Chain A
Amino acid sequence: MAHFTKATSLHDWLNQRLAIDTLRRVLATEYWIPKNINFLWAMGMVLAITFGLLLISGIFLLMYYQPNVNLAFDSVNYTIMQEVGYGWLWRHVHGVAASVVFLVIYIHMFTGIYYGSYKNGREIIWLSGMLLFVAFSAEAFSGYMLPWGQMSYWAGMVITNLFSGGSLHADGLVEWIRGDYVPAQAFLNRFFMLHVLLIPLVILGLIGLHFGALRIPHVNNQDGEEIDFDAEAKKYLSGDKAGSKVIRFANDFMSKDMMVVGIYLIFFFYLVFYHYDFAMDPVNFDPANGLKTPTHIYPEWYFLWSYEILRPFSTNVGLIAFAFAQVIFFMLPFLDRSPNAVPASRRGLFKYWFWAMLIDMIILTAMGKVPPEGLFSTIGLYAALTFIGLWIALPFITKFEKKV
């Protein structure tokens, strides 16, 4: 057992037992961050804060929500929204954060792609981030089911139908997932459990992994510069703060994080109080009705691009394309064969690849929502083919990139 001496203060008492000084050094004061990173690198903190808001508001909602097909809709729209003190506030915070968190995730992802932050030793950061994206998607989808509104119900129907695998006709699998022939009580209970327990646990674990994955390769920077962190840290500690290329996480970078968070929260609470409906589909304020299909069924905006990759094709081809879209981002560090981890603007054809991918995904997102008719389905088809084509082209266009 370690040797303990009589503590001289509470700090010393804790330090002997928890090594809080070491912990603080490793996690905050000597956790070195490159100086030349812009506000886009604060998206991690913005996501952490948003996740915190989701967690806290979710706990309050959990106190009054009823996971029962007959009570769920009213427990949300009447009990929580109207009877419980400030229930409306928690609900709007939760609903708005659920949507905004995806906007920030997409900004975070595209920042990583633009600056090459998935390359050269940072593959695990990218992979754990993508796993977080998948976990957040599952969390969002399972949460969307809970108010048991009309779009919840039909989204549940459509998404679980995907598991039949087209011509494979794995209908038994679909029933096994639902626990019934159609989304009903068993389905709601399962999704409730997934939403409030299992997936949040997975997310917390993945956040730990994502942070941990940063420790050795360190955060990338906006110039793609290879920094000798040990040498630069020494420079900083010797007092040459201005000359050092690195800064402490706390309070140096954290002060910038908090500045971005402060500005972000103005935008966030503006949405919560004055534009809360931007994220909530009006159709979902009709109670679920299994006998009445809505005229248009579409997922929440953040899933539209992958939905549109599925839609323009025949069932089997569509499912394969959809599966492709779900896994292909994981492969990015391995498909990008360029030796450079620098901003896209300084790279070869990748510069165009990046903007083409971004614009293509916005087109897919837009086409995923409009009715699949006429010009829209043609645009959707070409955008889906472009998406697949861009990924196939990636290894080839990056292979010939010269080292910069």
Chain B
Amino acid sequence: MKELFILVVVTVFTLLTYWLVEPFAHSQMHKHYESEGFAYKDLPALTKKGDAARGKDLVMGAGACTGCHGIKAAGMPAPMDPVTAAQSYGVNPPDLSNAGAVFDPKFLAALIKNPAHALMVEHKFDPAKGQMHPMTQFYGAGGDLDQEVADMVAYLQSIAPKPEELTPNQAFETACGRCHAIHYEYNKEGELHPAWTQIGEKPAFKHKQDELMFEKNVLDYQDALKKYMGTLPPDLSMYIRSRGEHYIKTFVENPQNYLKGTAMPRVGVNAVAAEKVIEHLEDVGDSKRFKREEVGRNVMIFMFIFAIFAILWKKEVWRDLH
């Protein structure tokens, strides 16, 4: 009984110390933000039902989206290579094939109408000071602006993969991959995925010259990006461990909460895409998590059996000693 009491005392002091240096200290050092569930409550709801066919005409025509964006899903290649695009706009405009699956419809609509506002970078792009956002605002094609925007959103959704078909890799590339690199390769379902650079996956090169040329392009792209963002956005290889799921989710919902005045835009992903981005970061930075659980279960069973035998052995030996 006395030993049990001692164990309780030791455990209480240990847990108290743990609580103080972990949850308590971290609550004092870092402000906690609750996830808003990717609701984007500050953005107006879509009031009109979009028509994808009309949207297609607008995206390809009056909206002039394809002047800057590629839409591979609709057979439209990007008008410029990533490096030239970044040198022109600061960052490579994304291919819109998956945009309808990755981004929230309210966010997409707001983005088309006023990019700096939707992206929460109005502090950086103030038209009054001549600081125009590289994405031109859509003023309408002569009809009802809200209807036209809803049509464009409907079109983007119609060509995008269904939520369950969107892969973690696609979600990451569309939402994060033009600014953030991931220099760790990873395996998913037996397939090796190469490192990701801001201009795409780094292929395996046969000739050193080709590899150096690719790396030069990456460096050129990064130079343009650095100029546009003020700093090179960090490599995300280990972000699942250095920041954790909660931070990443709440950060992409509203980067201004954490870093007031940051050039990082609000990403505008929907809840499903956010999960996929997290899954991608886990595939990259914590790729052995399933193996860990599997081995962990077996080791724990072994340790319990070991402890039971150790207790029985002690009882046996001490029978004569009391």
Residues of A within 8 A of B (CB): 35, 38-40, 74, 77-78, 81-82, 86, 88-89, 92, 103, 107, 241-242, 247, 251-252, 255-256, 258-259, 261-263, 265-266, 269-270, 272-274, 277-278, 280, 282-287, 295-296, 301, 304, 358, 362, 365-366, 369-371, 376
When the two chains form their complex, are residues B307 and A265 in contact, meaning their CB atoms are under 8 A apart?
yes
* A88 lies within 8 A of B292 (CB): yes
Q: When the two chains form their complex, are residues B321 and A247 in contact, meaning their CB atoms are under 8 A apart?
A: yes
Q: Which residues of B contact A358 (CB under 8 A)?
A: 13
Asked if B13 and A252 sit within 8 Å, CB to CB, the answer is no
Contact B314 A259, beta carbon cutoff 8 Å:
yes
B314 touches A255 (CB 8 A): yes
**Across the two chains, which residue of chain A brings its CB closest to B240?**
A285
Query: B6 contacts the other chain (Cβ, under 8 Å)?
Result: yes
| Contact A107 B184, CB 8 Å, known A89-B295, A259-B310, A261-B310 | no
Beta-carbon contact of B321 and A242 below 8 Å: yes
Query: Which residue of the partner chain, among B10, B17, B24, B313, contacts A255 with CB atoms under 8 Å?
Result: B313
> Looking at the complex, which one of A38, A272, A274, A296 makes contact with B6 (CB distance below 8 Å)?
A38
Contact A266 B307 (CB under 8 A): yes
Is B162 positioned at the interface, with any CB of A under 8 Å from its CB?
Answer: no
On whether the beta carbons of B3 and A282 are closer than 8 Å, the reply is no
Which B residues are in CB contact (< 8 Å) with A278?
18, 22
State how many angstroms separate the Cβ of B143 from the closest Cβ of chain A.
50
Q: Are A107 and B306 in contact (CB under 8 A)?
A: no
B108 to chain A, nearest CB (A): 32
B300/A269 in contact, CB under 8 A? yes
Q: CA–CA, A301 to B7, complex, Å? A: 22
- Stretch of B144-152, B202-210, B241-249, B268-276 contacting A (4+ beta carbons < 8 Å): B241-249
Decide: B243 and A282 in contact? CB cutoff 8 A.
yes
A369 CB, min distance to chain B CBs, angstroms: 4
B223 to chain A, nearest CB (A): 18
Binding site for A on B (CB under 8 A): 2-3, 6-7, 10, 13-14, 16-18, 20-22, 24-25, 28-29, 183-184, 186, 234, 237-238, 241-244, 285, 287-288, 291-293, 295-296, 299-300, 303-304, 306-311, 313-314, 316-318, 320-322
> Which residues of A lie under 8 Å from residue B29 when comparing CB positions?
295-296, 369-371
Q: A40-B6, A88-B288, A295-B29 are in contact. List 9 more A-B contacts (CB 8 A).
A: A82-B186, A89-B292, A247-B321, A265-B303, A269-B296, A296-B29, A369-B25, A370-B24, A371-B29
- Find out whether the CB atom of B296 lies under 8 angstroms from the CB atom of A274: yes
Given contacts A40-B6, A78-B184, contact A285 B238 (CB under 8 A): yes
A374 to B22: give the CA distance in the assembly, Å: 20
Q: How far is the CB of B264 from chain A (nearest CB, A)?
A: 16
In order of increasing CB-CB distance, the 9 nearest A-B pairs are: A273-B296, A262-B310, A262-B307, A285-B242, A366-B20, A369-B25, A255-B317, A259-B314, A285-B241
> Are A366's CB and B21's CB within 8 A?
yes
| Chain B residues positioned under 8 Å from A274 (CB to CB) | 296
B307 touches A251 (CB 8 A): no
- B313-A259 in contact (CB<8A): yes
C-alpha gap A242/B183 in the complex (Å): 66
Given A77-B238, A273-B300 in contact, is the A362-B295 Cβ separation under 8 Å?
no
Query: Across the two chains, which residue of chain A brings its CB closest to B307?
Result: A262
**Closest Cβ neighbor of B25 among chain A residues:** A369
Bound Cα distance A78, B191 (Å)? 17
User: Which chain B residues border A277 with CB–CB below 8 Å?
Assistant: 241
